């Protein structure tokens, strides 16, 4: 193959996995042979171009013995994602292939700032040999430039979009028919994604919009606490736990929503926020290191600010239905970086 991508591959959907899916499809459409080494949660994938990776040892074995490629691109959560970086660094030393790394998580900035001098030296030793390090926002780039040579670090947001509006299943059609306004939210049932804030906020929204609804999209693992919270707040008929959705179905749900909510504690460069904006959907999101223009940001941990911003957006936000959206500028930047590295 020409390029091998290492990282999470959907389902479940998330920023990293959606980016790898979009990137692999884009590269194949432009004549490159691409394979994916899936280090994500779903090990049941059965695709010709996907190899499921169970562990760091499995990744090392695959890189050394089971694959041939011209360039490797590894996707990690942070500069301390040693489970991927160590086998990649070892394999690259043995086989002498060029490689790049993308750091996705907004939480990586604080991790680097809090890291001990030993862990910083380890991160430097692992990352320094990479031909380029791609960061999803400026904050990550600025902090990472204290670890490695700044000229090797570039900022390329992981956003791309290919969407044509399509009909939804009857269960979603029924939900939209019975609830207005409807708010959608994508993530996981973990504290960092703020689903608890979304549910509590809906209870307050009901004081103004009694028919309002909330769609929580994402893997249902660890969702029991959320179901209990919904029941305690008497919102059983107003919140739908959607589970994993296919990419186009997820975009269609977002497109039909009156507002998209991103109540995370931190973010790198949220693909779902950019998708919502591109679809013309008003966005309310926590004020993290980076949010693109057009987002109404609230102060993290200030619940009343979240409620106020949401009510304001619902009152004044204008929804423009998407008809056909295609946006691949950032994927083309990555492709050109590949070509530059492979020529050098």
Predicted confidence (pLDDT) per residue in 277-330, tens digit: 989 999 999 998 888 888 999 999 999 999 999 999 999 877 665 555 667 889
Can you give the pLDDT at residue 289? 80
- Domain ranges in the chain are 3-160+328-343, 162-325
pLDDT in tens, 100-119: 999 988 777 788 888 899 99
What's 162-325's CATH class? Answer: alpha beta
Domains 3-160+328-343 and 162-325 equal at CATH topology level: yes
Instruction: Please enumerate in sequence order all residues whose Cβ is within 8 A of that of 37, keeping only pairs 6 or more positions apart, or say none.
Output: 4, 5, 6, 7, 50, 51, 53, 59, 62, 63, 67
Multiple choice CATH, 3-160+328-343, 3.40.630.10, 3.40.50.2000, 3.40.190.290, 3.30.390.50: 3.40.50.2000
Tell me the average pLDDT across 255-270. Answer: 90
- Burial category of 193 from C-beta neighbours within 10 Å (exposed 0-12, middle 13-18, buried 19 and up): buried
């Amino acid at each position: 193959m020409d390029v091998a991508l290492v990282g999470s591959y959907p389902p479940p959907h998330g920023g990293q996995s959606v980016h790898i899916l979009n990137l692999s499809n884009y590269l194949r459409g432009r004549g490159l042979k691409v394979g994916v080494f899936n280090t994500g949660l779903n090990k049941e994938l059965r695709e010709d171009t996907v190899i499921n990776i169970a562990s760091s040892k499995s990744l090392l074995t695959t890189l050394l013995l089971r694959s041939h490629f011209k360039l490797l691109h590894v996707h990690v959560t942070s500069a301390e994602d040693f489970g991927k970086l160590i086998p990649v660094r070892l394999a690259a030393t043995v086989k002498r292939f060029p490689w790049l790394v993308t750091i996705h998580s907004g939480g990586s900035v604080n991790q680097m700032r809090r890291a001990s001098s030993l862990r910083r030296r380890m991160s430097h030793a692992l990352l320094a040999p990479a031909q380029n390090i791609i960061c999803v926002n400026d904050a990550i780039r600025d902090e990472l430039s204290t670890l490695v040579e700044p000229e090797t670090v570039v900022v390329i947001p992981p956003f791309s979009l290919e969407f044509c509006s399509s009909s939804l299943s009857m269960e979603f059609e029924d939900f939209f028919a019975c609830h207005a306004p409807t708010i959608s939210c994508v993530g996981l049932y973990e504290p960092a994604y703020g689903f608890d804030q979304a549910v509590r906020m809906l209870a307050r929204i009901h004081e103004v919009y009694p028919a309002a609804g909330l769609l929580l999209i994402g893997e249902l693992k660890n969702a029991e606490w959320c179901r209990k919270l919904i029941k305690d707040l008497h919102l059983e008929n107003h919140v739908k736990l959607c589970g994993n959705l296919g990419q186009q179905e997820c975009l269609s749900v977002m497109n039909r929503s009156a507002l998209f909510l991103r109540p995370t504690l931190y973010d790198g460069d949220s693909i779902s926020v950019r998708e919502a904006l591109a679809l013309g959907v008003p966005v309310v999101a926590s004020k993290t290191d980076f949010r693109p223009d057009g987002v109404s940001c609230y102060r993290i941990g200030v619940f009343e600010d979240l409620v106020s911003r949401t009510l304001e957006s619902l009152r004044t936000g204008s929804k423009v239905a998407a008809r056909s959206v295609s946006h691949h500028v950032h994927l083309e930047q990555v492709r050109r970086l590949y070509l530059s590295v492979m020529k050098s």
